[in-house]
Chain A
Amino acid sequence: QITLKESGPTLVKPTQTLTLTCTFSGFSLSTSGVGVGWIRQPPGKALEWLALIYWNDDKRYSPSLKSRLTITKDTSKNQVVLTMTNMDPVDTATYYCAHSPSPTMGGFDYWGQGTLVTVSS
């Protein structure tokens, strides 16, 4: 079965760079069509899509955050890494990674449990 799990720091200081890792099993990011995305949710607020990487290394970013985000994959390790620069308290949120079976499917069918990241000095 497909599982995903997010890992990274729970607390970062303002201006620091956040690095989150999504470690997954049950699928390969070398399979045609497959993608892994990152989505975040500030406490009590809505979901916000951040980035998406596909099997062919095609990368998509949220237009509003594009300058701060980098998404990469390590197919051999079954991992996807998201970095976000210049962190601010407003970036405090639960960060999720999720599986996309194909671009035409248009959705995320499996999600990780999420990891809460707090930005504070």
Chain B
Amino acid sequence: SYELTQPPSVSVSPGQTASITCSGYKLGDKYASWYQQRPGQSPVLVIYQDSQRPSGIPERFSGSNSGNTATLTISGTQAMDEADYYCQAWDSSTAVVFGGGTKLTVL
């Protein structure tokens, strides 16, 4: 079955850029989405179709997807961005797969 791999944790200083990767076989051929989940809350979609931001998501969130890796980038990271982040892939044969999640710590 298809798998997506994320680093368990990423740390970033306030105001700096955080990058969270998601790896999977030929992931670039699929659509990647990213979700933010704060403790005790439901996930929130922050990126879809590799690089699109839903309305209401700050511009500091951006995404890319090529080859075997999708990347979520948070520019000018704020304390409120501290959360778990999950990547998710979709294609017509796999349907839906989630990555294992990355805990973002803003130090």
Q: Are A37 and B42 in contact (CB under 8 A)?
A: no
Q: Are A113 and B42 in contact (CB under 8 A)?
A: yes
User: Which residue of the partner chain, among B35, B45, B48, B95, contacts A60 with CB atoms under 8 Å?
Assistant: B95
Q: Is A74 an interface residue (CB 8 A)?
A: no
Distance (whole angstroms) from the CB of A67 to the closest CB of chain B: 14
Bound-state Cα–Cα, A106 to B88, Å: 8
Task: Tally chain A residues at the interface, Cβ within 8 Å.
Answer: 24
Q: Are A111 and B98 in contact (CB under 8 A)?
A: no
Question: Across the interface, which residues of B come within 8 angstroms of A107, CB to CB?
Answer: 31, 33, 35, 45, 48-49, 88, 90
Distance (whole angstroms) from the CB of B62 to the closest CB of chain A: 15
Would you list which residues of chain A between 79 and 115 have a CB under 8 Å from chain B?
A: 96, 103-109, 111-114
Q: Are A46 and B98 in contact (CB under 8 A)?
A: yes
Q: Are A37 and B48 in contact (CB under 8 A)?
A: no
Would you list which residues of chain B between 36 and 69 have a CB under 8 Å from chain A?
A: 37, 42-45, 48-49, 54
Q: Which residues of B contact A (CB under 8 A)?
A: 1, 30-33, 35, 37, 42-45, 48-49, 54, 86, 88-90, 92, 95-101
In the assembled complex, 17 residue pairs joining A and B whose CB atoms fall closer than 8 Å, in A order, are A46-B101, A47-B37, A47-B43, A49-B98, A52-B95, A60-B95, A60-B96, A96-B42, A103-B92, A105-B31, A106-B31, A106-B48, A106-B49, A106-B88, A107-B31, A107-B49, A111-B43
